[in-house]
Amino acid sequence: MRLLVTGSRGQLGRALQHAAPKHGHEFFGYDLPELDITDPAGVQAAVAGVRPDAVINCAAFTAVDAAEKQEAAALAVNGTGVTNVARAAEAAGALLLQLSTDYVFDGKADRPYREGDPAKPISAYGRTKLAGERAAELARRHLILRTAWLFGDGANFVAGIRRQIDAGAKTLRVVSDQRGCPTYTVDLADTLLRLLTTSAQGVIHVVNAGNATWFEFAQEIVRQLGSDVEVVPISTADGARQASRPASSVLDTSELRRILGSELAPWQDALKRYLAER
C-alpha cells in the first residue's frame, strides 16, 4: 500500500515512517516547509503526484494553550487544512485517515467516552479538531482516529519529566485532577497500520490500555527511571493554563477490540519500552 503522510516529522509521523516498511507499505512523508496543508493547490499536487492508497493526516496545530488566542490560525490547519486533504484524497480515490483527540469531549462523563457520544469541546483546540473531524467526512472513504496524551520521538510529557530530573530537579508539581490515556506513538502507529487493512470506517478510539492522571503518569515515569524526585499533586487551577482541559477524557476502546480482536498494551508497559529505547 502507498501511504502519503502529512506532518511526517511529528511524533506519530516518525513512528509511521519506521513502522510502514515492516507492514509492507511504501511511505511518502511531507511536512513544513515542503507542504503546508492550508495550501489547497500544494496538497492536490502532492497527493496527485504520489497516487496513494491512503492519506494519513498527522499535520495539526497542537499548541493547546496558544490556540486560545490564535483560534483562527489553529482552525486554518485543524479545520480548513483537513478540508484540503480530504478533497485531495477523494479526488485520488484514496482513504483518508484523520487523527483527532480526546479534547473533543468536555470531560464531564462518569464513564469512558464511546465513539458515538456527543462531542462538546471546551477549548479552542478541541473545537478546531472537531471541525477537522467534520471536514474529514468530505472524503467518502474516511477513518477518524481519536487518541490522547501522546509520547514518542519528539517533545512530550515523558521527555519533559526526564529533562527536569536530569537537570537536578528535586520536586515536580503535576496536575492531579485531569484523567486520560497515555499513548505511545509506536503502538498507535502499529495499530493504525493494522486498521488500514480492515474495512473500518468512521470514528475509532485508539489509546493504550488503562488511564491515569498527569500526576499518576509522572509518578510512574519517576518510578521507572529509578529517581527519588518528589512528585507533588496540584490542581488544574494551580497550573494556571490558558485553555480549559477535560477533567476526564478517558476513551473507550471496545470498538477497536471488536475490529482487531485486541487492544493496545497497558500504558505502563508502553512507557517501559519507550524509556528502554532511549
Say what the pTM is: 0.96
**C-alpha cell of residue 247:** 477533567
- pLDDT value of residue 190: 98
CATH number for 2-155+183-208+250-265: choose from 3.40.50.880, 3.30.413.10, 3.40.50.720, 3.30.110.30: 3.40.50.720
Which of 23, 18, 54 lies closest to 201, judged by CA?
Answer: 54
Residue percentage of the chain with pLDDT more than 70: 100
278 pLDDT higher than 90: no
What are the tens digits of pLDDT across the range 247-263? Answer: 999 999 999 999 999 99
Which of 26, 132, 23, 31 lies closest to 74, judged by CA?
Answer: 132
Q: Is 26 helix (H, G, I), strand (E, B) or coil?
A: strand
**C-alpha cell of residue 132:** 477537522
Catalytic residue among 30, 125, 184, 274: 125
What are the tens digits of pLDDT across the range 171-222? Answer: 999 999 999 999 999 999 999 999 999 999 999 999 999 999 999 999 999 9
73 pLDDT higher than 90: yes
What are the phi and psi torsion angles at 271 (to 5°)?
-60, -40
- pLDDT value of residue 239: 83
- pLDDT value of residue 36: 98
DSSP-derived letter for residue 30 is E
For residues 230 and 178, the answer to whether their CB atoms sit within 8 Å is no
**C-alpha cell of residue 209:** 490500555
Q: What is the mean pLDDT of residues 34-56?
A: 98
User: 125 catalytic, yes or no?
Assistant: yes
- pLDDT value of residue 55: 98
* Residue boundaries of the structural domains of the chain: 2-155+183-208+250-265
* Number of alpha helices (DSSP H) and beta strands (DSSP E) in the chain: 12, 12
What are the tens digits of pLDDT across the range 212-229? Answer: 999 999 999 999 999 999
DSSP-derived letter for residue 102 is G
240 pLDDT higher than 90: no
DSSP-derived letter for residue 78 is I
Longest CA span, the chain = 56
What average pLDDT does the chain have? Answer: 97
